[in-house]
Amino acid sequence: MNLYFDNATTSYPKPKEVGEAVLQAIERGGSYGRVAYERTIQSTGIVEECRDAIANILGVEHAENIAFTLNATTASNIILQGLEWKCKQVWVSPLEHNAIMRPLEHLRQHNKLNISVLPHHKDGLIDIERLSHITMQNTDLVIVNHQSNVNGLIQPIGAIKDAIGKTPIMIDATQSLGYTNLNAREIDYIVFTGHKSLMGITGVGGFYAKNSSTLRPLIYGGTGSNSSSYEMPSFSPDRFEAGTPNTIGIAALLAAMKNKPEPQHTHNDTINIINRLTARPELAIHKAESADNQGETFSITHSRLSPSELCEKLYTQYKIETRSGLHCAPLAHKTLNTYPQGTLRIALSPYHTPLELDYLYNCICNI
């Protein structure tokens, strides 16, 4: 039985081909570019095939505008610290993670950036009607967390984009990419990670920038291109990929995307367990108000037990793995009125069966 319910931290298990790809990559050897022997030609080809596959998922034409990084946090730092903040104004969605909020706080302290939170409903869903009345002409960037890592709410990106018009928009797709469709053609910046819904391994993330010339690099170094110059190349992805990339992790990510598992439970099964838990008098469930906006993650608070006590009991009594606390998203918890204690988070995997969801429900009820 799969008792791992912490897939918003990192997905587990992975498709078996992911492990095979890691082993093959280690046995094959090779790096990225720089030389012209077969093992490196192969591993370089895999990196570029993976970049093309990410472009395909995002629905963007120019895969060269996708750069690989260590993780989504590095990607968001490259964008937020690389932008020129002319108006010194950013709007953020109410469920942002600290991967966004901490770089912004750094910019607030050192560059006098003003940070405003977008109007929203009780569950953190952005209020499109109120948003459409905000004048955005002196705004540098709007940042939206596509899928919350606390209550699983999925924001309506298309409607938000329509409401803000030509104001640049950045999407944090850390939780959503691989689970939810995102038509990125109209989006200026997207950050993602490979080890959550995309089901690769840790150590690979990245970002898409529609116009990469808007960004200064954050990391400087060798790229295997323009090697006679001490300056970074002007073109993408080289401009943002100094140093040797994680070719093994990227090979694993490609294998994960090629072998995406068929979900063994339906969206209705997820909504069903959420509704059954909501009916329990001792529990408060933190979720999207509408099932249409609900992802595979939700949170629980208990009337008698703290989130950490509930987390500990689920593990020690039933071996159920979950995560308690603030989930590095204090803004989200302030929005949901679960700050500072936080919540217990349940994050499902496509491998979970309805039987395992039933088991989870029974264990929570038996605590």
Partner 1 sequence: MQHIILLQNIRQIIQAEKLCKAANIQVSIIPVPSHLSSECGMALVAEHSKSTEIKYILEKEQLKPIIYER
Query: What is the distance between the alpha carbons of residues 184 and 146, in angstroms, rounded to a whole number?
Result: 12
User: Please, what is the minimum distance in Å from the beta carbon of residue 50 to partner 1?
Assistant: 11
220 touching partner 1, by CB under 8 A:
no
Within 13 Å of residue 175, how many CA atoms lie on the same side as its CB? 30
Q: Contacting partner 1 (CB under 8 A), which of 23, 26, 41, 365?
A: 41
Q: Contacting partner 1 (CB under 8 A), which of 16, 26, 29, 34?
A: 34
Contacts of 268 (CB under 8 A, 6+ apart): none
User: Please, what is the minimum distance in Å from the beta carbon of residue 64 to partner 1?
Assistant: 6
Residue 328 Cα distances to 37, 53, 148, 166, 214, angstroms? 44, 29, 11, 30, 28
Query: What is the distance between the alpha carbons of residues 126 and 132, in angstroms, rounded to a whole number?
Result: 11
227 touching partner 1, by CB under 8 A:
yes
β-strands 283-286, 205-209 pairing: unpaired
User: Please, what is the minimum distance in Å from the beta carbon of residue 164 to partner 1?
Assistant: 30
Q: Contacting partner 1 (CB under 8 A), which of 16, 23, 45, 87?
A: 45
230 touching partner 1, by CB under 8 A:
no
Q: Contacting partner 1 (CB under 8 A), which of 16, 56, 235, 275?
A: 235
3-state SS, one letter per residue, for 320-336: CECEEECCCCHHHHHHC
228 touching partner 1, by CB under 8 A:
yes
Helix axes 354-366, 307-318, angle to 10 degrees: 120
User: Please, what is the minimum distance in Å from the beta carbon of residue 61 to partner 1?
Assistant: 10
C-beta separation of 205 from 50 below 8 A: no
Near partner 1 by CB under 8 A, which window of 125-133, 198-206, 232-240, 315-323? 232-240
Q: Taking phi first (over 0 means left), then psi (-120 to 50 degrees means alpha), and beta for anything else, what does residue 342 get?
A: left
User: Please, what is the minimum distance in Å from the beta carbon of residue 29 to partner 1?
Assistant: 16
Q: Which is nearer to partner 1, 16 or 62 (by Cβ)? A: 62
C-beta separation of 193 from 6 below 8 A: no
Q: Contacting partner 1 (CB under 8 A), which of 76, 149, 212, 223?
A: 223
Q: Contacting partner 1 (CB under 8 A), which of 96, 238, 269, 296?
A: 238
Number of residues located near partner 1, criterion CB under 8 A: 23
206 touching partner 1, by CB under 8 A:
no
User: Please, what is the minimum distance in Å from the beta carbon of residue 45 to partner 1?
Assistant: 5
In angstroms and rounded to an integer, the radius of gyration of the C-alpha atoms of the chain is 21
48 touching partner 1, by CB under 8 A:
yes
207 touching partner 1, by CB under 8 A:
no
243 touching partner 1, by CB under 8 A:
no
Residue 145 Cα distances to 96, 101, 167, 363, angstroms? 6, 11, 16, 31
Nearest C-alpha neighbor of 47 from the set 298, 302, 255, 229:
255
User: Please, what is the minimum distance in Å from the beta carbon of residue 182 to partner 1?
Assistant: 23
User: Please, what is the minimum distance in Å from the beta carbon of residue 48 to partner 1?
Assistant: 4
237 touching partner 1, by CB under 8 A:
yes
Length of the chain: 367
Helix axes 16-28, 247-258, angle to 10 degrees: 150
Q: 54-93 mask for partner 1 (x: CB under 8 A)?
A: ---------xx-----------------------------
Nearest C-alpha neighbor of 131 from the set 177, 167, 183:
167
32 touching partner 1, by CB under 8 A:
yes
Kindly list the residues in this chain that would bind partner 1 in the complex (CB under 8 A). Answer: 32-36, 41, 44-45, 48, 51, 63-64, 222-228, 233, 235, 237-238
